[in-house]
């Protein structure tokens, strides 16, 4: 009851092309995350799906029906905004019920659905409060509740966690994951935070420069990035890229190796280098070294390791985890 298809959707603001032909299929019940650096067009794409912006060309189908000419309220969608966007003069209850009231639903039904949604989000205590009397986390829960009450075909989230502090962000993330399991609804979620993308998504859509770079499950993107951009964007710290020529390899232009797929040793190894900086995170130790052969490298070691800056060490890449890219930046498989 909630599939979405985008067919060569383009959007330009004057001479600036923001989206350059987006094709995408979202199946019923999928949790899809649009991720990308700022300015990549992910929010614009979401707003086009919502109907808040018109696409310059292309078509948008929700449940197989063309909706390009349908106003937002009639598309069967609900949206959660970064800034919560609660109606300041309405109580929590009325905020949640406004959409149904506008659609002319009977009072009893509005009441029942509001009750159900507020129970799901443990908001019962706050139903008569105004948004100004709530904390940031509670406001975002109300905003999510407002979306749930509408029982939409598609949930749209526009960076819903960006305004919350770190601890609340984790809690709300878990809550959204639980909601997705309980409601089995189709959700489309925009974020620039790859942790959110990796932890929540069934399918991640990586966007850059108005073009889809890769679509896949979190582990597909991590293990088999389609190009240099995706390889560098997914994973933290970012993948090391080494000029293949410097390593004497002719089967690729660039070689990529993730920091966690390298081993360090004081005795012997492939690349020798001087340690520039060490970060101790407890669970991980991140070592930055400047090697003669491969340039600046990042290695992520699990557990505590007592390396010193200016120490010489040998790094060895785990050969099964090497990524090869051609001159166009595409992965060679």
Partner 1 sequence: MSKARTSLSRTALVHAALIAYTLVAVFPVFLTIINSMKNRNAIFRNPMQLPTPSTFDLVGYQTVLGQGDFALYFQNSLIVTVVSIALVLLFGAMAAFALSEYRFRGNTLMGLYLALGIMIPIRLGTVAILQGMVATGLVNTLTALILVYTAQGLPLAVFILSEFMRTVSDDLKNAGRIDGLSEYSIFFRLVLPLVRPAMATVAVFTMIPIWNDLWFPLILAPSEATKTVTLGSQIFIGQFVTNWNAVLAALSLAILPVLVLYLAFSRQLIRGITSGAVK
Contact positions toward partner 1, by CB under 8 A?
47, 50-52, 71-74, 77-79, 81-89, 98-99, 102-103, 146, 158
Give 50 or 239: the residue with its C-beta nearer to partner 1: 50
* CA atoms of 13 and 18, how far apart (whole Å): 7
Q: Are 189 and 34 spatial neighbours (Cβ–Cβ below 8 Å)?
A: yes
Give 48 or 289: the residue with its C-beta nearer to partner 1: 48
Residue 112 gets the label, from left (phi > 0), alpha (psi -120 to 50) or beta, of alpha
Neighbours of 71 (CB within 10 A): 9
CB of 272 to partner 1, least distance (A): 53
Q: Are β-strands 65-66 and 240-243 bridged in parallel, bridged antiparallel, or unpaired?
A: unpaired
Give 67 or 255: the residue with its C-beta nearer to partner 1: 67
* Triad 20, 21, 22: Cα angle to 5°: 115
CB of 156 to partner 1, least distance (A): 9
Q: Is 333 exposed, middle or buried (0-12, 13-18, 19+ CB in 10 A)?
A: exposed
Give 49 or 206: the residue with its C-beta nearer to partner 1: 49
CB of 87 to partner 1, least distance (A): 6
CB of 74 to partner 1, least distance (A): 8
Q: Are 88 and 130 spatial neighbours (Cβ–Cβ below 8 Å)?
A: yes
Nearest to 249 by CA among 184, 162, 326, 197: 326
Give 110 or 331: the residue with its C-beta nearer to partner 1: 110
* CA atoms of 306 and 293, how far apart (whole Å): 24
CB of 56 to partner 1, least distance (A): 14
Give 91 or 199: the residue with its C-beta nearer to partner 1: 91
CB of 117 to partner 1, least distance (A): 14
């Amino acid at each position: 009851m909630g599939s979405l298809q985008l067919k060569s959707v383009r959007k330009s603001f004057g001479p600036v092309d923001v989206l350059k032909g987006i094709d995408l299929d979202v199946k019923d019940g999928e949790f899809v995350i649009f991720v990308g650096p700022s300015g990549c067009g992910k929010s614009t794409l979401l707003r086009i799906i919502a109907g808040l912006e018109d696409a310059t060309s292309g078509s948008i189908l929700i449940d197989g029906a063309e909706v390009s000419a349908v106003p937002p309220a009639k598309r069967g969608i609900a949206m959660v905004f970064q800034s919560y966007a609660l109606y300041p003069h309405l109580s929590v209850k009325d905020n949640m019920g406004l959409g149904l009231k506008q659609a002319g639903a009977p009072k009893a039904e509005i009441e029942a659905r509001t009750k159900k949604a507020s129970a799901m989000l443990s908001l019962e205590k706050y139903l008569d409060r105004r948004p100004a009397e709530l904390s940031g986390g509670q406001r975002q829960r109300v905003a999510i509740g407002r979306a749930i009450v509408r029982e939409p075909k598609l949930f749209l989230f526009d960076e819903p966690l960006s305004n919350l502090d770190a601890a609340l962000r984790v809690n709300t993330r878990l809550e959204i994951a639980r909601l997705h399991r309980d409601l089995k609804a189709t959700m489309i979620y925009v974020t620039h935070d790859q942790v959110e993308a990796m932890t929540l998504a069934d399918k991640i859509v990586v966007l850059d420069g108005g073009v889809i770079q890769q679509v896949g499950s979190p582990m597909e993107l991590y293990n088999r990035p389609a190009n240099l951009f995706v390889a560098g964007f997914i994973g933290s710290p970012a993948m090391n890229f080494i000029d293949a020529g410097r390593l004497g390899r002719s089967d690729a232009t660039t070689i990529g190796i993730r920091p966690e797929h390298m081993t360090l040793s004081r005795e012997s190894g492939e690349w020798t280098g001087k340690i520039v900086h060490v970060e101790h995170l407890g669970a991980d130790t991140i070592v930055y070294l400047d090697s003669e052969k491969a340039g600046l490298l990042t290695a992520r070691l699990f557990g505590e390791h007592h390396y010193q800056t200016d120490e010489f060490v040998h790094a060895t890449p785990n050969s099964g985890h090497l990524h090869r890219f051609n001159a166009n930046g595409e992965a060679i498989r």
